[in-house]
Amino acid sequence: MEQPNIFTLQKDTSLLKKFSEIHNSIYANDGLSAQQALDEMLKVLFMKVFNRKLRKNWFWIDEKEYKECLDNNVSNDFTERTFELWEKSKKDFTDIFEPNEKIKLSLASLAFAVNKLQHIDFSDTTDAKGLAFQKFLASTEKADRGQFFTPEPVINFCVEFLQPKPHEKIIDPTCGSGGFLFSAYQYLSDNFQTSKQEIIPNLFGIDINKTIVKIAKMKLLLECNTNLNIVAQNSLEDLDELALSFGQQIENQMDIVLANPPFGTLGKITNEKLLRKYELGYKWQGENTNYFKTKTLHTGQTPEILFIERCLQLLKEGGRMAIVLPNGMFENPSLEYLRYFIKQKTKVLAVVNLPQETFIPFGTGVKTSILFLEKQTSQVLKTCEVSEPKVFFGRVTKLGYQGNKNGNPIYQKDEFGNLLKNKNKEPILEEDFSKIIQDYKQFQITNEIAIETENSFTFPVAELTGRFDFDYYAPQNRKLLNKLTSQNAVKLADLCEIVKIKSKKLSQANETVDYIELSDINTHSYEIINATSYLVHELPSRASYEVRENDILTAVAGNSIGTNKHATALATKDYEGSICTNGFRILRNCKVDLYYLLYYLRTEMFLKQVFMYRTGAAIPNISDYDLGRILVYLPEGKVLQEISEKVRYSFELRKQAKEEVEKIRIEF
């Protein structure tokens, strides 16, 4: 047959299917991994895109050539034409292909791919080719555990939250497969009468992984039919070098930054030259609202912390950013200097907490939140127009997809189990991103939310302390603290000694001691029910504190702290001299009746405060400082005495019950 005319190609409505067929064929027949198959498929797609620039169509195969490739794995004309096209394509995309890079496909697979794509017009402006490629990528990335995938609902939420405008410059310094840039492009196309030619020059992306950059470029090339400002570089490196890659200045030039930086998996940045480029590459000292940068470099700093500063460096004054971060960034006491740094440089617009299952379909269960900021100088912050500026807090509980490895969509149903549909007769996702957006837009206008809920509330910026996490400022927790304060509740540290000094017994290596773990507590009866004997040198490293009779042990670490399974116990004479784990703190020399305090440590008043103060994703814990400032409600003397007597009596009854059981003897 004759070669197809490149200017009379046709629109294809089954492009998603074709993408999948090509990828699956390569994967099945060429012995490549799913990722390698995707990489080779991208080479074919870039050849197809470049072919548009040529006066003569080189991207085609006729029936005779196709049969030769499939039957004999040889076709001289097709091979010569296609590999010449590949060499020319590499020269056009020098930023993503090496000069000596080869096509690793068998001739049969290459012919199959060209045959599938040759009649499709990639320049057609009405066809959602980028969307088809995005859907194809979603299934491919999920199958490969989604190493560079951010869930689409999270991406779209961040973009709509920041409400980009035409001609605003938008950058993603960890762009992955281009999800944020693609969403921003769609948002601007849908909400403004703005042409592709006006939008595309204002979209910028950086990623360290060349394969991922190829994906991002292809996704937007297919949708926009023009080249993109996306480069394969380390976005933490020198800003001048990055500017050269883009051919324009980027520092302090961006209106919007969207980012989901890598965290928790890549280790720390230890390169001194790189660390010196960042204020957060240095150690900070201080406390509360008075931190300062020292002259001492960190020996290693986590990438996500440096990315926060890099994002701020990219933003112009008044620029806005959304960044997905692990919850430790919002709450861990050791990172209070980081939150101080952020408050000095920005106006905190919002914090939106995501459920733990958000990233499970894509390979990780890390708890995350989204931080929304506006870059401002201290002077601008001081002259803010709003008399009492507030921070918006939101919590997503319904993602619109299952929090398992499949991540299948979840749709709204009526009381009879029938799918609810929108005006376009499409099923409606079960999600609450939309409601949070609606609440935020109202907040932008009025500085308030009409009805505060457990999922949306505001909090005065002036009262924002050293933490940014949702639970810490949740209305129900603030109401509890206010009520306790109004009732003249007393701090726990003012009521008793909190033991934090390790036992001297731990220096006697061959002494035998009884050791108490968190699991040795009966959480329902306030009792220690077991202790295990060890030689001191055999004890776990967490063995710490020596127990005395009438000590109260209460848990400060573990998933159960602040829940109804929180471990608290009274030490009896039987456990005098035992050693307990540092997962407990010992309360000693109490100024209030022991049995009342024991009771209080099981009430919602106490547990809610622990849950509010606790930090850490892998192993939640509460710091000694926060434990000490937990408020203890002390009722009037008579009520307190009655509670104490009842708790004491319950211990006496249990003791009597044990004694009665021990008296039982069976003669045999």
pLDDT (tens digit per residue) in 539-586: 999 999 999 999 999 999 998 999 999 999 999 999 999 999 999 999
Residue of 108, 120, 121, 142 whose CA lies nearest to 38: 142
Higher local confidence (pLDDT), 632 or 356: 632
DSSP state of 6: G
Is residue 377 over pLDDT 80?
no
What is the model's pLDDT at position 127?
Answer: 52
- Compute the chain's Rg from CA coordinates: 31
More confident: 492 or 262: 492
Give the H/E segment covering residue 198.
helix 196-199
The token duo for 665 is 């003897």
Half-sphere exposure of 104 (CA within 13 A, CB side): 17
Q: Are 358 and 368 in contact (CB under 8 A)?
A: yes
pLDDT band at 1 (very low <50, low <70, confident <90, very high): very low
Is residue 581 within 8 A of residue 517, CB to CB? The reply is: yes
What is the per-residue pLDDT for 602? 93
| Spatial distance between the Cα atoms of 485 and 481, rounded to a whole number of angstroms | 6
Residue found by looking up tokens 């060499």 in the block: 87
Task: Evaluate if residue 456 carries a pLDDT over 60.
Answer: yes
- Among 214-228, 303-317, 404-418, 616-630, where is mean pLDDT lowest? 214-228
Q: Which residue has the tokens 């909190």?
A: 498
* pLDDT in the model for residue 5: 41
Whether 615 contacts 465, CB under 8 Å: no
Hey, CA dihedral for 649, 650, 653, 658, is it positive or negative? negative
What is the per-residue pLDDT for 145? 38
Percent of the chain with pLDDT over 70: 92
| Angle at which helices 179-191 and 129-143 cross, to 10° | 150
Six token digits for residue 375: 């870059």
Separation between Cα atoms, residue 59 and residue 323, nearest integer Å:
41
The confidence score (pLDDT) of residue 225 equals 64
Question: Is residue 296 packed enough to be buried (19+ CB in 10 Å), middle (13-18) or exposed (0-12)?
Answer: exposed
Would you give the distance in Å from CA 16 to the centre of its chain? 29
- Report pLDDT for 668: 65
Instruction: Count the Cβ atoms, other than its own, within 10 Å of residue 481.
Output: 16
As a residue count, the chain comes to 668
DSSP track, 585-644 = EEEES-SS-HHHHHHHTTSHHHHHHHHHH-B-SSS-B--HHHHHT-EE----HHHHHHHH
* Residue 122 DSSP SS3: coil
Is 50 exceeded by the pLDDT of residue 4? no
CB distance 164 to 184 below 8 Å: yes
For the chain, what percent of residues have pLDDT higher than 90? 57
3-state secondary structure of 539: coil
Please report the DSSP string for 461-527 in residue order: GGG--S---HHHH-HHHHHHHHHHHHTT-EEHHHHSEEE-SPPGGGG-TT-EEEEE-GGGEETTTTE
**pLDDT score recorded for residue 130:** 67
For the chain, the structural domain boundaries read 6-127, 154-270+318-397+432-472, 492-655
Strand partners, 587: 498, 552
Q: Is 413 helix (H, G, I), strand (E, B) or coil?
A: strand
Q: For residue 38, name the pLDDT band (cuts at 50, 70, 90).
A: confident
Mean pLDDT of the chain: 88
d(CA 654, CA 642): 19
Residue 621: pLDDT band (50, 70, 90) is very high
Distance in angstroms (rounded) separating the CA atoms of residues 246 and 173: 13
> Where residue 6 falls among pLDDT bands split at 50, 70, 90?
very low
CA distance 533 to 85: 75
Please name the residues in contact with 566: beta carbons below 8 A apart, sequence gap of 6 or more. 523, 554, 555, 560, 601, 602, 607, 610
With contact defined as beta carbons under 8 Å apart, do 466 and 287 qualify?
A: no
Beta strand 456-460 with 390-395 is antiparallel
- Judge whether 154-270+318-397+432-472 and 492-655 match in fold: no
Is 581:621 a contact under the CB 8 Å cutoff? Answer: no
Residue-level pLDDT at 422:
87
pLDDT score recorded for residue 448: 85
Is the predicted pLDDT of residue 144 greater than 50, yes or no? no
* pLDDT (tens digit per residue) in 48-82: 988 888 878 899 999 999 998 888 888 888 999 99
Contact 297, 272 (CB under 8 A): yes
374 or 655: which leads in pLDDT: 374
| pLDDT exceeds cutoff 50 at 146 | no
| Two tokens, residue 616 | 């850490």
CATH 3.40.630.30 matches 492-655: no
Q: Residue 193 burial (CB < 10 Å; 0-12/13-18/19+)?
A: exposed
Which segment of 133-142, 189-198, 386-395, 474-483 scores lowest on mean pLDDT?
133-142
pLDDT of 211 strictly over 60: yes
Q: Which CATH superfamily is domain 154-270+318-397+432-472 in?
A: Vaccinia Virus protein VP39 (3.40.50.150)
**Helix%, strand%, coil% for the chain, nearest 5:** 45, 20, 40
Which pLDDT score, from 0 to 100, does residue 185 have? 92
Task: Kindly state the average pLDDT of the residues 625-653.
Answer: 94
List the one residue out of 131, 63, 117, 123 whose CA is nearest residue 85: 117
Least confident among 281-290, 389-398, 494-503: 281-290
* Residue 172 host element (H or E): strand 170-172
- Asked if residue 350 lies in contact with residue 342, where contact means CB atoms within 8 angstroms, the answer is no
pLDDT of residue 503: 94
Model's pTM, two decimal places? 0.85
Confidence class of residue 112 from pLDDT cuts 50, 70 and 90?
very high
Per DSSP, helices labelled H in 98-172 are: 107-117, 129-143, 152-162
Residue 124 pLDDT > 70, yes or no?
no
Q: What is the pLDDT of residue 139?
A: 63
Tokens 């080189």 sit at which residue? Answer: 58
User: What is the pLDDT confidence band of residue 2, given thresholds at 50, 70 and 90?
Assistant: very low
What tens digit of pLDDT does each residue of 221-231 get? 877 766 678 99
Model confidence at 314: pLDDT above 70? yes
What are residue 190's phi and psi, to 5 degrees? -80, -30
pLDDT recorded at residue 120: 83
